Amino acid sequence: MSSLKKEEIRIQAKLANIYTNVRRVCKASSLFYDYWNDLFVKNLDAEANPIILDCGCGTGFLLKRLHEEGYNFLVGLDITPEMLREAKILLGNTADLVLADAEELPIPS
């Protein structure tokens, strides 16, 4: 693993809890991400995409939005255990969460 990737993991680990809190309480952040998540979900074809893989799912906000829209086969992948811990708190058992590097997917096509 490159030193750059190790540094990214270290930084994301420190930001996981802060990211979740800022996302929930900062109006500008919420508006920004809600806009893009809504646009993504609006343009997604549920019949053509019954299984959703969110690479770099972070703390799981997009997965939560997808679950609210009725998607039930959700997989979140992140390289940082701390981000996945936050996602698990948010999502419970509504998505499968995988600790992995998006450049080396452990998931079959």
Domains of the chain: 3-104 (3.40.50.150)
| 99 neighbors 81 (Cβ within 8 angstroms) | yes
Q: Which residue has the higher pLDDT, 44 or 26?
A: 44
Q: What is the mean pLDDT of residues 14-25?
A: 78
Q: What is the mean pLDDT of residues 30-48?
A: 86
pLDDT tens profile 62-84: 999 999 988 989 999 999 999 99
Token pair for residue 69? 């829209």
What is the chain's mean pLDDT, rounded?
Answer: 88
pTM (predicted TM-score)? 0.84
| 51 neighbors 75 (Cβ within 8 angstroms) | yes
